[in-house]
Structure 1
Amino acid sequence: MSRSHLRTVRDHIRWAVSQFHREGLFFGHGTENAWDDARQLVLGALHLPWEVADAYLDCRLEEDEIEHLRDLLRRRIEERIPTAYLVGEAMFCGLPFLVDERVLVPRSPIAELIAEQFQPWLPKQPARILDLCTGSGCIGIACAYAFEQAEVVLADISFEALEVANQNIERHGLEERVYTVQGDGYDGLPGQRFDLIVSNPPYVDAEDFAGMPAEYQHEPALGLACGDDGLDLVRRLLAQAADHLSEHGVLVIEVGNSQVHVEALYPEVDFTWLDFEQGGHGVFLLAASQCREHQALFKTRLRP
């Protein structure tokens, strides 16, 4: 990277795009192409907002800023570290979240459901919401913005992930109605019921996990892989859902490419598979009545 030619913000974004293409980087952690990834990295490293005025792009950088960018761009290319980890922040539902390698990078299509307040499936405003397998807390915290009167519980098995989630709760000033619970699945929530349970659990099957791009190796495996068919945890979440939903509650779970395994495992169940205008797939919805109706079936499909 030549000191004499790369001087402005725009220079560094352009150079990064070219290098990202040349090196064959993967884009799937909040961005979908080299331009957005480069822009996120350069602007984030310089503490500039995504919607920065165009005039800023032609500002010349100080030498220490150029050195900092040089290091981050090198790490993105050579080590395949996702950009969100390099800048320590990711956007979800238009909100900023602190992220590092203790949690997955936020990218769930569930963001679109939150923006629409889960309509038309929620019969009324939820009083209690559970974000199960919360990671950074992005889904639950975004739900707290969407439903301003709701109490929101962020649950995860990982103490390290919950440290990040608690930082995000504090960052967004939601300590009075959003809190974390540690536990495996519903284990930390005995007797508790919710009007809305949302979960983006680990669901990657063994075949997909083995073939994932290098960028995913920086994310916690605990948040990605979950057995041969990816459903080891999803089986348990379904089997116990009826015990934690209110009478007219709703369950939403993302399973991505493991949708085919869900449909094969539970052919008797009429899952509602949701469509997304902004991309994404493999998210199903069940009403509490369906969870109660099929609870015995769900329990028979648990792994021994």
Structure 2
Amino acid sequence: MAPRPPAGPAQADLVPADLADTFLTIRDLLRHAVGRFRAAGIAFGHGTTSALDEAAFILLEGLSLPIDDLNPWLDARLTRPERLRLLDLIEQRVATRKPASYLLGRAYIQGIPFRVDERVIVPRSYLGELMMSGGLVQEGAGPVPDPMAVTRILDLCTGSGCLAILAAMAFPEATIDAVDLSAEALEVAALNVADHDMQDRINLMAGDLFAPVAGRHYDLIIANPPYVAEAEVSAFPPEYRAEPVMAHAGGPDGLDIVRRILREAGDHLTEHGGLLCEIGTGAEILEEEFDLPFLWLDSQDSTGEVFWLSAADLGLRA
């Protein structure tokens, strides 16, 4: 694993000098950060859901500490350079309204770290949990009864490459083609693939959905496409507007790209393959429009936002 990238450029002018002498411990900085975030009305949703969780992430990641538990460190006294750095990150979060992951260059799915910056959406897909926690892979039952039988995977709209990497971990016999329309996103994905030493198993490909993989067939297709409706994109808070719009915009009702995937996926599945796709809140629209036996898979934080369809369900045409 490559070393963690540094945070964004220093902006010490954002931090009053006396604050670094007032707040001495992580507990002090946590209280300060939560108050600043609540007063500023910043938006969450990029890996955290509250001012407390956001503050904890910034403090722990900013100190290169494990992000799973703040409690052991609360009363740790910090050096002055550490306090200045953390105060700067807190003020940048308020002043720029960028997601904390952009300021720190790091995001996590299922506890696994990935590089991120403004070239990619901050990863937060429910598919990661389903692949890594048993919601999809169940020995002898469930959508994928035998993970060792999965040898070819296609990851559509790969972005930072995080789902392709998690798929490689969940399916140890598989090679993965990871496709994205954005050349800039694929640059970040290449860094993550290298960080996780997956170059021999993940093939990054530039193009529009299935275009780069004509004639290829897969045991599993995973997709986390843009699925936000136009009106919702227009109403985004600054944190979401900081992300690439093409990673969100899914047309008038958010489902334009999902429809394309549904119509084309059957041409690229093996006989016993299947499609796993995240769609947000459009389940009722899809069920009314498509006569398909959608199997909705719930995660810890979502209900009816991820579906599974087998090759037989999609009318295998390969």
Global fold match (TM > 0.5)? yes
Aligned-partner SS, 1:292: coil
Q: Does the 8 Å contact 1:123/1:248 carry over to 2?
A: no
Code of the residue aligned with 1:84 in structure 2: it is: S
CA distance in 2, matches of 1:109, 1:47: 26
1:7 to 1:152, Cα distance in 2 relative to 1, 3 A: same
Question: Shift of the alpha carbon at 1:78?
Answer: 2.1
Match of 1:88? 105
Match of 1:97? 114
CA distance in 2, matches of 1:282, 1:55: 36
Q: Does the 8 Å contact 1:166/1:179 carry over to 2?
A: no
Matches within 5 A, 1:1-304: 2-51=19-68, 54-115=71-132, 116=134, 117-119=136-138, 120-125=142-147, 126-266=150-290, 268-279=291-302, 281-292=304-315
Question: Shift of the alpha carbon at 1:187?
Answer: 0.8
1:53 to 1:27, Cα distance in 2 relative to 1, 3 A: closer
1:237 to 1:17, Cα distance in 2 relative to 1, 3 A: same
Question: Shift of the alpha carbon at 1:148?
Answer: 1.3
Aligned-partner SS, 1:207: helix
Question: Shift of the alpha carbon at 1:53?
Answer: 7.3
CA distance in 1, matches of 2:300, 2:60: 27
Code of the residue aligned with 1:67 in structure 2: it is: L
Code of the residue aligned with 1:163 in structure 2: it is: E
CA distance in 1, matches of 2:282, 2:68: 35
CA distance in 1, matches of 2:208, 2:72: 50
CA distance in 2, matches of 1:242, 1:133: 17
Deviates more, 1:46-55 or 1:250-259: 46-55
Code of the residue aligned with 2:137 in structure 1: it is: F
1:281 to 1:40, Cα distance in 2 relative to 1, 3 A: farther
CA distance in 1, matches of 2:262, 2:29: 48
Match of 2:10? none
Deviates more, 1:108-117 or 1:213-222: 108-117
The C-alpha deviation readout for 1:4-58, integer Å capped at 9, x for no partner, is 3212222112211122122222110111111111111111112111146745332
Aligned-partner SS, 1:246: strand
1:258 to 1:212, Cα distance in 2 relative to 1, 3 A: farther
1:222 to 1:127, Cα distance in 2 relative to 1, 3 A: same
CA distance in 2, matches of 1:10, 1:207: 40
Code of the residue aligned with 2:144 in structure 1: it is: L
CA distance in 1, matches of 2:254, 2:109: 24
Q: TM-score, normalised by structure 1?
A: 0.91
CA RMSD in angstroms, aligned pairs only: 1.8
Tell me how many residue pairs correspond in the alignment.
293
Code of the residue aligned with 2:146 in structure 1: it is: K
Q: TM-score, normalised by structure 2?
A: 0.87
Identity of aligned residues (%): 42
Aligned-partner SS, 1:28: coil
Deviates more, 1:272-281 or 1:143-152: 272-281
1:104 to 1:280, Cα distance in 2 relative to 1, 3 A: farther
